[in-house]
Amino acid sequence: MGIFDFFSKPTKPKTHLAEELSKTRQSFWGKLSKIVAGKSTVDSDVLDRLEELLIGSDVGVSTALKIIGAIEQRVARDKYLTTGELDQILQSETEQLLHIAPTPTKDTQGVAPPTRPHVILVVGVNGVGKTTTIGKLAAQFIGQGKTVILGAADTFRAAAVEQLTIWGNRIGASVVARAMQSDPSSVAHEAVQQSLRNNTDVVIIDTAGRLHTKVHLINELAKIKRTIQKCLPGAPQEVLLVLDGTNGQNAFLQAEAFTAAVAVTGIVVTKLDGTSKGGMVLGIADQFSIPIKYIGVGEKVEDLKPFDPHAFIASLFQKW
């Protein structure tokens, strides 16, 4: 069972996704209209300017070249491509980049792990909205009648432990926390053990986001994961990497570091409502072949949304 299975349809009306992504929409697709203005067909000038626009929109060089290559193949095949068709092809090609099937999680014997507790390890650098994302995710689980334990394993920042504790008190989730500078893996161990005793549905474990040395990061996360697996073979069933949508190309460097440290199963991109750099979602999904599981488009609990590739791209291409 994946984490999407805990959700049902929202009951409150939501702002249209196109409005929440308006800054990215205006920045990229507004400039695209200028590229094709006065043009009836797609020529080399249009493709060159489109490539520059894609790279400048934080899609990434590799992903931008992949998109341009697909369009060039279409031009070579059909001999004639109108600027109106360019919009449709771009929408199709970018959506394909986002359709990545998640790899089923199994233990070392190849047997599917138990679904209770469902353990989620959350990683990411400090400041990307990691702890807030955990709080929102936990609140949504609890809203669906699930019991949740939060593990405050970022023991190097007092603010992280305090923030997670506040979230727990607010939403009714138990919080396992220890003194500052405690061994993070001990917090993870206690959280999982408490969940097993209480038959809790979900355990969400926060982790430190220090990147000053990659070796330390790898060792720490590996130790946490080993500790969890000793308590519950096959866990964690999900490892979510939280990235800040406003960071653009810096998010790629963070993704490189964390995917090297731990087997990330899904990505959460936060703060997409406040940035024009939403193109990084395409590059991250394409270059790391890891599903985007959630996007953050606001401050409310319900603004952490399960990611729908079709809805995301359709919103970006929606006309004013």
The tens digit of pLDDT for each residue in 221-266 reads: 889 999 999 999 999 999 999 999 988 888 998 999 899 888 999 9
Cβ atoms 124, 243 nearer than 8 A: yes
For residue 97, how far is the Cα from the chain centroid? 15
Q: Output DSSP code: residue 41.
A: B
The tens digit of pLDDT for each residue in 292-306 reads: 999 999 999 999 999
Domain at 105-264: CATH code: 3.40.50.300
3-class SS of residue 267: strand
Which of residues 85 and 183 earns the better pLDDT score?
183
Residue among 223, 228, 210 at smallest CA distance from 151: 228
Diameter over CA atoms, the chain = 68
| 17-98 and 105-264 in the same fold | no
Provide the strand spans (E) within the chain.
118-123, 148-152, 174-176, 202-206, 238-244, 266-270, 292-296, 304-306
Tell me the domain boundaries of the chain.
17-98, 105-264
pLDDT of 102 over the 60 cut: no
The span from the CA of 190 to the CA of 150, in Å, is: 10
b/e per residue, 31-53, with b = 16+ CB within 10 A?
ebeebbeeeeebeeebbebbbeb
Domain formed by 17-98, architecture = Up-down Bundle (1.20)
Show the tokens assigned to 261. Answer: 């440290």
The span from the CA of 249 to the CA of 254, in Å, is: 9
User: What is the amino acid identity at position 144?
Assistant: Q
pTM of the predicted model as reported, rounded to 2 decimal places: 0.86
| DSSP 3-state percent helix, strand, coil across the chain (nearest 5) | 55, 15, 35
The tens digit of pLDDT for each residue in 258-305 reads: 998 889 999 999 999 888 888 899 999 999 999 999 999 999 999 999
Q: Could you tell me which residues come within 8 angstroms of residue 31 by beta carbon, excluding any fewer than 6 positions away? A: 53
Cβ atoms 274, 23 nearer than 8 A: yes
Give the DSSP H or E segment for 105: none
